[in-house]
Structure 1
Amino acid sequence: MSADKEMSIWEHLMELATRLRRVLVVSVIVFLLTLMPTPRHFSDPIQLLTGFFVTGNFTTLSYDIFYRYIIEPSIHMAYTNVVLISGDVFTPFNALLYVSLYFTVLAIVPYLVYEIWAYVRPALYPHEIRAVKKYLIYGVLLFYLGNLYGLGLISRYFLRFLIDISSVLPGVTPIFNIGSVVDTIIQIALWSGVFFEAPVVVAILSELCMLNPWALASYRPVIYAVSLIIIAIFTPDATLISVFLTFLPFAVLLEVGLAYSRKIVKKCPDYAYMRPAGRK
């Protein structure tokens, strides 16, 4: 264990509460920053204040970015026109908040990882510290890469498919609730970021000699089947398009992780027993 003095359970809980409070404070600050209005409102402060508190004529910069670079390109890719409606009374306001929360999550991920790492590090052995610390930055980068993949590819072609299929059905006009569109895109992006962590998890477990890559590879069909089920449960897509678009990079990254794991475990004491006969 760490050379630091042993703390009581209460002291551990107090430290955890302190770190979570820091994360909460940072999250609130970032969230308020994401609610900043678009620059065009700055020219008239009075209109800005009345728009926010009285008339509701207010758009956040984060939502404008989300709409301009994510929603709008998806709509323009379709072969037919689509109408976005507000739906329920609170839906537009909820969409603004949801987008701001999403950008807040993306912004605080590095700090959240730092606080979690600082909390668990004293309880780890030196070799565990080296193993985890080696891949922390890669885990954060893969989370962002997964979100970019979800936003730029899965969501875009998924929305295009839904819009086009709506226009093909006789008597159907493609009209979508903006809250549903925002919610679907963000869920796809976040879960893509989570599934992109597969090679990091495999690498860390391999560094700790807790994973046999050859044994894991032998269960590949089961792993892929379970992964498809999990992705289907958490991905809001009845057409299975986003399911397979999420599964494909997950499968590729898992295979990359397994290939890298076979090199990592060579230093493990049980390597001779892990490796099948005739395999390197």
Structure 2
Amino acid sequence: MSDKIEHGAEETFISHLVELRDRLVKAVYGLAAACIALMLWPGPAAIYDFLAQPMLASLPAGSKMIATGVISPFLVPMKVTLLLAFMLALPWILYQVWAFVAPGLYTHEKRLVAPLVISSSLLFLGGVAFCYFLVFGRVFKFINEFSPASISIAPDIENYLDFIMSMCLAFGVTFEVPVVVVVLVRMGLVTVEKLKAIRPYVVVGAFVIAAIVTPPDIVSQFSLALPMWFLYELGLLIAPLFVRVTQSPDTTE
């Protein structure tokens, strides 16, 4: 009898591994398809030109960015294309993750996980879009206005890529604040009342984090700290509703 149980458990474990492999393969296929599509149109060069537009717009007329590495003109646009492909394929990748874990969840757990996965993806992409369209232009203009006339501004494309990736990552992660608040409240680790009570410390912490992860200028720091504060307040509004909707049917008041 025990041999049959062990054999059944082994088959179940193997079937889960096979399912995991299939989901990973499908996720990779989706990423590859997005990457190939971007390679064909608009192409790595056009994608990088679009990404560099906020910096180019703030430079003096006729100025361009430079490449100090031998293969940088090829490698940097390829990295940007791969990053954009991942962002485009993110819904498909997250769907594969969801399809793998969903069969083992109860109905109320599915109501918990699905909104978190979707909202966290949208918030991350929203943070990246906010950084590119609203922050970069103001930050680069603010910084370049302080440049002495004796300096010729010609940013290196690799340094620029590192900078925008770190900034986009910082804003994308920061925009996850409502999800963090909701999860903390839903798991019972802290109450909404307690989070409201520590609001002054959260505001100070938002400005400290912004000062650490952004350039040392007031524009970028306020551009990160204020949305972080607003999203924290948004999380406080959503958390009670989310808790009610995702409670188990057996939960009593």
What range describes the TM-score normalised by the shorter chain of this pair? 0.7 to 0.9
Q: Which moved more, 1:140-149 or 1:5-14?
A: 5-14
Distance 1:170 1:90, change over 3 A: same
TM superposition shift of 1:96: 0.8
- Work out which of the residue numbers 220, 227, 242 in structure 2 matches 1:242: 220
Using structure 1 for the length normalisation, give the TM-score: 0.71
Which residue of 1 is the match for residue 86 of structure 2? 105
Q: Which moved more, 1:124-133 or 1:257-266?
A: 257-266
TM superposition shift of 1:127: 1.5
Verify: 1:85 aligned to 2:66, yes or no. yes
Q: How many Å separate the matches in 2 of 1:94 and 1:221?
A: 45
Q: How many Å separate the matches in 2 of 1:22 and 1:240?
A: 44
- Work out which of the residue numbers 97, 122, 130 in structure 2 matches 1:141: 122
Q: Which AA in structure 2 matches 1:215?
A: K
Verify: 1:67 aligned to 2:49, yes or no. yes
CA RMSD of aligned residues (A): 3.2
- Work out which of the residue numbers 213, 228, 231 in structure 1 matches 2:192: 213
Using structure 2 for the length normalisation, give the TM-score: 0.77
Q: Which AA in structure 1 matches 2:24?
A: L
Q: How many Å separate the matches in 1 of 2:128 and 2:45?
A: 17
Unaligned runs of 5+ in 1: 39-60, 272-280
Residue aligned with 2:65, SS: strand
Q: How many Å separate the matches in 2 of 1:241 and 1:90?
A: 34
Residue aligned with 2:155, SS: strand
Q: How many Å separate the matches in 1 of 2:227 and 2:45?
A: 28
Q: How many residue pairs are counted as aligned between the two chains?
A: 241
Q: How many Å separate the matches in 2 of 1:222 and 1:80?
A: 44
- Work out which of the residue numbers 143, 160, 165 in structure 1 matches 2:146: 165
TM superposition shift of 1:228: 4.9
TM superposition shift of 1:192: 1.7
Q: How many Å separate the matches in 1 of 2:244 and 2:80?
A: 45
Verify: 1:176 aligned to 2:155, yes or no. yes
Overall identity of the aligned pairs, in % = 26
Which residue of 1 is the match for residue 98 of structure 2? 117
Q: How many Å separate the matches in 2 of 1:215 and 1:106?
A: 35
Unaligned runs of 5+ in 2: 1-7
- Work out which of the residue numbers 102, 116, 133 in structure 2 matches 1:152: 133
Q: How many Å separate the matches in 1 of 2:229 and 2:31?
A: 33
Q: Which moved more, 1:261-270 or 1:198-207?
A: 261-270
Q: How many Å separate the matches in 1 of 2:68 and 2:139?
A: 21
**In the TM superposition, what whole-angstrom CA distance separates every residue of 1:72-131 from its partner, at most 9, and x where no partner exists?**
244324566643111111221122112101211211110111111122223433222112
